[in-house]
Structure 1
Amino acid sequence: MFLLIDIGNTRTKWMLRDNYGVHQHNSFLTEDIDQDHFEFDVAIKKILISNVAGFEKEAILKIKLKKFSCPVEFIKAHKKLNHLINNYQDATKLGTDRWLSALSVSHEIKKTAVIVSVGTAVTIDYVSFDEKKSQHTFEGGVILPGLHLTKNALENNTADLKNSESVFQIPPINTGNAIQSGFILSVLGNIKSFFELASSKSRDMKIILSGGDAELIHQHMDEDLKKYVSIKKDLVLEGLFVFASH
């Protein structure tokens, strides 16, 4: 049995699974990582962890996991693993969450993909696919502040822009809607740019949406893009399981 843990900036998700399927699956606020979230009666073969929340969270979790008396591995991006090549300038500097998401997609989908994670930060990555070699390559991507970071930045650094309940509106006629709509249009514009790049190289492709605000972005996408979309909530955890099984 593997314990797979995805430490995000806001939430930490975990999954207990083996080759037969998922046995348990849950999440908690990352700020509560010092509490006892892992209580299992089953034997754990290995614990694999993706962490983008900093060294302090990693150190706390290491202490909490000692009771399982099994190997604990904090995953880093590789230059090559299975059928995925990492084309980042410095392969080890690619965020573990982005690499594991690409690893999951490369394992499951034999197509070129645009991978979009909409959480505390928004990442939009392009993963090409060489059909002759059956090989994916992580080609790069962009990072944007997520919706809450965008709202908080504007609230904290401007005099009159306050965080309030808001909806998508074109054209927006109040400040809250202007912020919300600006964020959504920014993400959609970046997705479209990467979709056009990917589709210029490959006719057979997918857009993978993940993260807490995936549905928010999906509902505002053009219908011609929606037909390429799959929503997958646990890409990082699935990537950890691919890594565990390699």
Structure 2
Amino acid sequence: MFLLIDIGNTKTKWMLHDDKSIYKQGTFFTEDIDQDHFEFDEKIKKILISNVAGFEKEAILKIKLKNFSCPIEFIKSDKKYKYLLNGYQEPATLGADRWLSALSVSHDIKKPAVIVSVGTAVTIDYVSYDQKNNRHTFEGGVILPGLHLTKNTLSNDTADLKNGEGVFQMPPIDTANAIQSGFILSVLGNIKSFFELASNQLKDVVIILSGGDAELIHQHMDEDLKKYVSIKKDLVLEGLFIFAKS
């Protein structure tokens, strides 16, 4: 049994996975990582972890996992893994979550892809595909503040913009709606730009949406773009499982 852990900035997701299927899974707030979330009777043969929440959370988790007498591996980005190349200028600086998401997509989909994760931060990445050599390349992407981070930043740093619940509206006619709509339009615009970039180089491009606000973005997409979209919630954990099996 493998224990797979995805430590995000806001939430941590975990999964117990045998060689074929998911056995158990759960989620907790990353700020509560010092609590006892991993008390299993099952025999764990390896633990694989993705961490984007900083060294302190990594150190705490190591202590919480010390009772498991098995190897523990924190996955880092590399220049290459199997059929996936890393086109980042400094490959080691690519976030483990983006690398693992690209690995998951490249393992399952033999097409170029725009990978969108909509969480605390929004990442929009382009992965190309070389059909002749059956090889994907992580080509790069952008990072934007997520919805809650956008609201908090505007509320904290701008006197007249308060952190309220808004809805998408065109054109927006109140402040909460203006912030909500601005965020959604920004994400959609970036997705469209990367989709057009990918489509100009290769045909048959897919868009993969993940993250807590994936559904929010999906519901506001144009129908002509929606037909290329799949929603996959656990890309990072799926990428960890690929490492676990190797």
TM-score normalised by length of structure 2: 0.99
For 1:200, give the aligned amino acid.
N
Residue 20 of structure 1 deviates from its aligned partner by: 2.1
Query: What SS class does the counterpart of residue 92 from structure 1 fall into?
Result: helix
Which residues of 2 match residues 78-117 of structure 1 at below 5 A?
78-117=78-117
**Alignment-derived partner of residue 169 in structure 2:** 169
Question: For the residues of structure 2 that align with 1:153 and 1:174, how far apart are their CA atoms?
Answer: 18
Identical pairs, percent = 79
1:106-156 deviations in Å (ceiling 9; x for gaps): 000000000000000000000000000000000000000000000000000
1:26-69 deviations in Å (ceiling 9; x for gaps): 10000000000011111101000000000000000000000011
**Alignment-derived partner of residue 119 in structure 2:** 119
Question: For the residues of structure 1 that align with 2:132 and 2:151, how far apart are their CA atoms?
Answer: 45
How many pairs were matched up? 246
TM-score normalised by length of structure 1: 0.99
Question: For the residues of structure 2 that align with 1:131 and 1:72, how far apart are their CA atoms?
Answer: 35
**Alignment-derived partner of residue 221 in structure 2:** 221
**Alignment-derived partner of residue 234 in structure 1:** 234
Residue 164 of structure 1 deviates from its aligned partner by: 0.7
Query: What SS class does the counterpart of residue 66 from structure 2 fall into?
Result: helix
Question: For the residues of structure 1 that align with 2:57 and 2:144, how far apart are their CA atoms?
Answer: 23
Unaligned runs of 5+ in 2: none
Which residues of 2 match residues 6-21 of structure 1 at below 5 A?
6-21=6-21
Residue 175 of structure 1 deviates from its aligned partner by: 0.1
Query: What SS class does the counterpart of residue 67 from structure 1 fall into?
Result: coil
Residue 78 of structure 1 deviates from its aligned partner by: 1.3
**Alignment-derived partner of residue 62 in structure 1:** 62
Which residues of 2 match residues 197-212 of structure 1 at below 5 A?
197-212=197-212
Runs of 4+ in structure 1 off by over 4 angstroms are: none
